[in-house]
Amino acid sequence: MRVLDNYEVLKEYIENCKKQNKTIGFAPTMGALHEGHISLYQAARPENDIVISSIFVNPTQFNNQEDFEKYPNTIVQDIEKLTQSGLVDALYLPKEKDLYPNGTKSNHYELGEIETLMEGKFRPGHFQGVATVVEVLFSQVQPDNAYFGEKDYQQVAVIRKLVELKSLSIAIHSVPTMREENGLAMSSRNLRLSEKGKKDAVLIYETLNEIRHWSKTMSVSEIENRVKEIFSKHPDFELEYFVIADDKTLRTATEILPNLSYRAFLVAHLEGVRLIDNMKIA
């Protein structure tokens, strides 16, 4: 696996790939890699001649400076994990100046309604930061295919919108959420949980599973009340939001109609760590 530690080295590598007409699959990450990331490379490997990953903790997508500063940095272990996987041909490790030569500011994108919902509502500016860094990475890596995890389901929708806005000829692939044995969604932030926290955090997955069953017989408002009740009995958790939304538009659902697809989204804080998960329910 090649480690490309600045844009000039990446540029030469990409030019070489393009000369040989090789297809490129790309999975950008913020590091602290886990099996969820590995599943992105597993999806990319059979579909591309070259698989590239990147690690960059993007400052413009954090609306909480403390969250940015506490984000895990495990670069040595990450390189080892990628090498051992045998799935990745090159790892791009850009410096801030490679991606933000004019300073760390977000561009502005007309993302529309999607930016005002759920994560967009609770983390203002977050998706502008995501779109900014992803557009730069796409322009530098020039992938044919890009891979993202469904744990950040709304983010995938934002990236599809970005591709549409900029008329990019890149296919966006979403990969199902990988989970720990107890059902906890794999996340780099889980590294900040204690062993007890990792066990307690399964409440989120268990609640989503319950919602899937409840959605067959209960109204949305009844489900919302049940979820609030569950988290009120677990004072270690702070429920940030729970939403049932249309699977395609991500608009909040007020009722569950037949022949439409819905997904439940749940965000809660535990031990000072923000945990996010979602599940298709109907």
Q: Report the distance separating Cα 158 and Cα 160, nearest Å.
A: 5
The secondary structure of the chain in percent helix, strand, coil, rounded to multiples of 5, reads 45, 20, 35
Q: Report the distance separating Cα 211 and Cα 204, nearest Å.
A: 11
34 marked among binding-site residues: yes
Nearest to 141 by CA among 54, 60, 57, 30: 54
Residue 9: half-sphere exposure toward Cβ, Cα within 13 Å: 11
89 marked among binding-site residues: no
31 marked among binding-site residues: yes
Q: Which residues have CB under 8 Å from 140's CB, separation 6+?
A: 7, 10, 11, 14, 92, 94, 98, 99
Q: Report the distance separating Cα 137 and Cα 52, nearest Å.
A: 11
266 marked among binding-site residues: no
112 marked among binding-site residues: no
8 marked among binding-site residues: no
120 marked among binding-site residues: no
Q: Report the distance separating Cα 97 and Cα 166, nearest Å.
A: 23
Pick the catalytic residue from 37, 126, 234, 269. Answer: 37
Q: Is 37 a catalytic residue?
A: yes
186 marked among binding-site residues: yes
33 marked among binding-site residues: yes
Binding residues for (R)-pantoate: 61, 155
Which residues are part of a known binding site?
30-37, 61, 149-152, 155, 186-189
Q: Which residues belong to the active site?
A: 37
Binding residues for beta-alanine: 61
